[in-house]
């Protein structure tokens, strides 16, 4: 349903996932089990498929099973318009206050130009005074990269912030690389815990469908 994508692969280190994808006729690549992050796994796949340095890869993480296909052109738009941008991702306004205190819901703050200042599992920014006019944003786990950026990223050491928050995108920020963050018109259900599976199933296959 995403016409901007030329090919779709599942990159995994799990034989059950590999067999499942091949079972429905999909393309799967078995990768190393030693990767520090999903982005490192993506780069191994890009090398094995001989992608060019300026090719754009969209990373749809496995915990995003029910995203809107129209998010893909929004995600890749910054890279198509500006060759100096090497990585982009998405944000969506938080409307459920429970998500603010949920560490599985990653929060993001951006500058006036739409570039990420920080990602955190904690609510950011902190409102020191009551009634401050702040919209909190959650990070949606979809990325677009240029292959040449992935090559650089995977050679960087794991940063202290990345290790503390367990958020791989902080490795880029800690090393001075900018991440463009586009505001999504749609939310996307993430499967982080067992209870989230039922929410995703309701979206993918509504009752009576």
Residue 164: the pLDDT is 96
Residue ranges of domains in the chain, CATH in brackets? 10-204 (3.90.550.10)
**pLDDT tens digits, 60-115:** 888 777 788 889 999 999 999 999 999 999 999 999 989 999 999 999 999 999 99
| SS3 state at 17 | helix
**pLDDT tens digits, 20-33:** 999 999 999 999 88
The answer, yes or no, to whether residue 203 has pLDDT greater than 80, is no
Average per-residue pLDDT in the chain? 90
Pairing of strands 107-110, 116-120: antiparallel
How far apart CA 109 and CA 169 sit, in angstroms, is 13
Task: Please compute Rg for the chain using Cα positions.
Answer: 17
Residue 209: the pLDDT is 54
Pairing of strands 107-110, 56-60: unpaired
């Amino acid at each position: 349903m995403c016409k901007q994508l030329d090919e779709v692969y599942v990159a995994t280190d799990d034989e059950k996932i590999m067999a499942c994808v091949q079972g429905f006729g999909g393309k799967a690549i078995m990768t190393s089990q030693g990767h520090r992050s999903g982005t490192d796994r993506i780069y191994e796949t890009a090398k094995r498929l001989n992608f060019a340095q300026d090719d754009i890869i969209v990373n749809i993480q496995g915990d995003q099973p029910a995203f809107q296909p129209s998010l893909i052109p929004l995600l890749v738009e910054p890279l198509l318009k500006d060759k100096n941008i090497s990585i982009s991702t998405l944000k969506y306004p938080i409307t459920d206050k429970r998500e603010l205190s949920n560490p599985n819901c990653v929060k993001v703050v951006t500058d006036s130009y739409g570039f990420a200042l920080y990602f955190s599992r904690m609510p950011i920014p902190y409102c020191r005074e009551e009634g401050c006019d702040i919209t909190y944003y959650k990070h949606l786990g979809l990325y677009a990269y240029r292959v040449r950026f992935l090559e650089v990223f995977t050679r960087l050491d794991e940063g202290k912030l990345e290790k503390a928050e367990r958020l791989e995108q902080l490795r880029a920020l800690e090393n001075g690389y900018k991440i463009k963050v586009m505001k999504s018109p749609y939310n996307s259900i993430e499967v982080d815990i067992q209870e989230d599976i039922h929410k995703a199933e309701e979206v993918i296959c509504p009752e009576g469908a």
